[in-house]
Structure 1
Amino acid sequence: MRRDELLDAAEGLLCDQGSDALTLAAVADRAGVSKGGLLYHFSTKEALIKAMAERLIGDFDELMAAQPYDTYTKRYLGATMAAIRSSRLRRWAVVTGASGNMFLLTPLREAMSRWHSEGVKDEPDPVAAQIVRLACEGLWDVASHDPSLHSEEELAALERRLLALL
């Protein structure tokens, strides 16, 4: 079994049953592998959670790289909107909610620091860039709690307005 399939099983378990249900045995069972097969890839529950967070960071970096915009903040906004419009947003909410241990979220804190500092000095208006990035975080947080709060039309209007700030 591939590593990503195990991570998918863990994320699915979190989505369906919550963080209390996340055990190595439950993940192995959901993935259809032995606990030893899971332990080959992830020796602890903490290693599994950390790997889920790292994969999400990589996914967001890929979303950013796929954006057609000319500045870092526009790519950040585009990636945020793409994540909100996809199932990726739910994955973030469940993975970050799974960890009561701040050490496990160190990769996320490091990525957040990078995402909010990279390219700011190269922006035409660094303050507007920071405002847009912070607005993205707010949109992300609200949408993770209520994905249906904003219609596609409302999201498009928000995206256009945030792009206009840049």
Structure 2
Amino acid sequence: MPRKPVAREAVLDGFISLLIEEGERAATLEAVARRAGVSKGGLLYHFPNKEVMIAALLERLDEHLAQDLEAMAAAPEGAAAYFIRSSLWADTPMDRSFVAATRLAEVAHEESRRRFSAAQARWLELLAADVGPAMAKAVLYMGDGLYFNAMLARGPGGPGPGFGADLEGLLVAVARLRG
């Protein structure tokens, strides 16, 4: 597989950073080019418009989601415990792609919403296999709540104090759900 140009990756990384930090409206082609350290012409060489950049972001997200789902399915502690443990911001490429794409979904970007729906369905499938269909959504909501409350308390950069105890408490609850 041929390597992607470094400038292309820098542009995509800049786009993701702007989406996370400032939102979709601030992620103009000019701002992305500045953030990536390339000229606007350099950006346009790799991404002729914003929708092509969005498509590249969603492709990157799909790759990270596929890896995460594979790890979740193979997790020795079970899918539910894996999901809860991985529900804290760790500034991983998956976290960054995920949050950037949520910024697009917030402004009703339909393809972003479709990708999240597909990911959620797959997570629920794995969770249901682990804790049963009746409890799968409870675990999904636990993980989502942990993730978003950590983000609200601290923002990207790590969970605030006390989230370790929350995580352990949720893992105990997951163990009870498993019977």
Give the TM-score normalised by the residue count of structure 1: 0.74
CA pair 162-144 structure 1, distance change in 2 beyond 3 A: same
In the TM superposition, residue 135 of structure 1 has moved relative to its aligned partner by 1.9
1:114-129 aligned at under 5 Å gives the runs: 114-118=122-126, 120=128, 122-123=129-130, 125-129=132-136
* Partner residue, 1:86: 90
Distance in 2 separating the partners of 1:149 and 1:60: 28
* Partner residue, 1:158: 170
In the TM superposition, residue 15 of structure 1 has moved relative to its aligned partner by 3.5
1:69-148 aligned at under 5 Å gives the runs: 69=76, 71-80=78-87, 84-88=88-92, 89=95, 92-99=98-105, 100-105=107-112, 106-118=114-126, 120=128, 122-123=129-130, 125-147=132-154, 148=160
Report sequence identity in percent: 29
Bigger Cα displacement from structure 2, 61-70 vs 137-146: 61-70
Task: Give secondary structure in 1 for the equivalent of 2:172.
Answer: helix
Conserved 8 A contact 1:49-1:104: no
Structure 2 runs not aligned, ≥5 long: 155-159
Distance in 2 separating the partners of 1:72 and 1:140: 17
1:44-59 aligned at under 5 Å gives the runs: 44-59=49-64
Distance in 1 separating the partners of 2:153 and 2:62: 22
* Partner residue, 1:40: 45
Task: Give secondary structure in 2 for the equivalent of 1:123.
Answer: helix
1:1-40 aligned at under 5 Å gives the runs: 1-2=5-6, 3-40=8-45
Letter in 2 for 1:131: A
Deviations 1:34-91 (A, max 9, x none): 22332333232123234324423432443443453354334333332xxx14124465
Deviations 1:13-41 (A, max 9, x none): 23443332211121112111222332333
The structure 1 segments of at least 4 consecutive aligned residues displaced by more than 3 Å after TM superposition are 15-18, 63-68, 70-75, 88-95
Give the TM-score normalised by the residue count of structure 2: 0.70
Letter in 1 for 2:44: L
Distance in 2 separating the partners of 1:152 and 1:47: 39
- Structural RMSD (CA): 2.9
